[in-house]
Amino acid sequence: MSKLNKVKDLIKKRLEEESATGTGSSFTAGTGENYATPVAGKAKNYYYKLGYKPVNRKALNKAAKGIEVKQLWEEQAAFDIESYIATLPTDDEEVKKYIAGRLGDYNALSDKLKQLITLIGDAKKDTINSYRENPQFKAVYGTDLANSLLDDVIDLFTK
């Protein structure tokens, strides 16, 4: 979860109206002395009343003179392997095919790492839920082995 989403969630949690009864009861029309407040659940109204306003990211990035701003959460443009291969100073089709395959392998690695990040997040949630239900000395997933294997993979790409 990004920092921006964490801040948004924190603001929403702080600004939500809480039940006066403390029992989690909700408004039921026509019974008892219930009252549904007119702005219940409309945190955006309070957001602006408290002086907050949306950030103009383009203006903020432009104001950061001399600093290269990279939006890490946006997908980067894919490297065009075919165009690159066409610019190589060789006519040997076997060499071009080999180089294209090697560069394609990097794309495959990136895709697998994206999948792995999702799987690690899911495994962490499963582990948290498992320990919440039954705290014990038991590994839900093999993190020691995974860390060791990832260290080996990192060593492959370290010069």
Instruction: State both tokens at 11.
Output: 């603001």
Residues of the chain with pLDDT under 70: 1, 15-47, 71-76
Q: Give residue limits of the domains in the chain.
A: 1-17+35-73, 75-159
Q: Cα(first)–Cα(last) distance of the chain, in Å?
A: 32
Q: What is the pLDDT at residue 123?
A: 92
| Cα–Cα distance measured from residue 148 to residue 134, given in angstroms and rounded to the nearest whole number | 27
Write the secondary structure of the chain as one string of H (helix), E (strand) and C (coil): CCHHHHHHHHHHHHHCCCCCCCCCCCCCCCCCCCCCCCCCCCHHHHHHHCCCCCCCHHHHHHHCCCCCCCCCCCCCCCCCHHHHHHCCCCCCHHHHHHHHHHHHHHHHHHHHHHHHHHHHHHHHHHHHHHHHHCCCCCCCCCHHHHHHHHHHHHHHCCC
Q: What is the pLDDT at residue 156?
A: 92
Assess contact for 15 and 47: CB atoms under 8 A: yes
Q: What is the pLDDT at residue 19?
A: 47
Q: What is the pLDDT at residue 122?
A: 92
Q: What is the pLDDT at residue 29?
A: 57
Residue type, 98: Y
Residue type, 88: L
| Cα–Cα distance measured from residue 98 to residue 81, given in angstroms and rounded to the nearest whole number | 12
Q: What is the pLDDT at residue 57?
A: 79
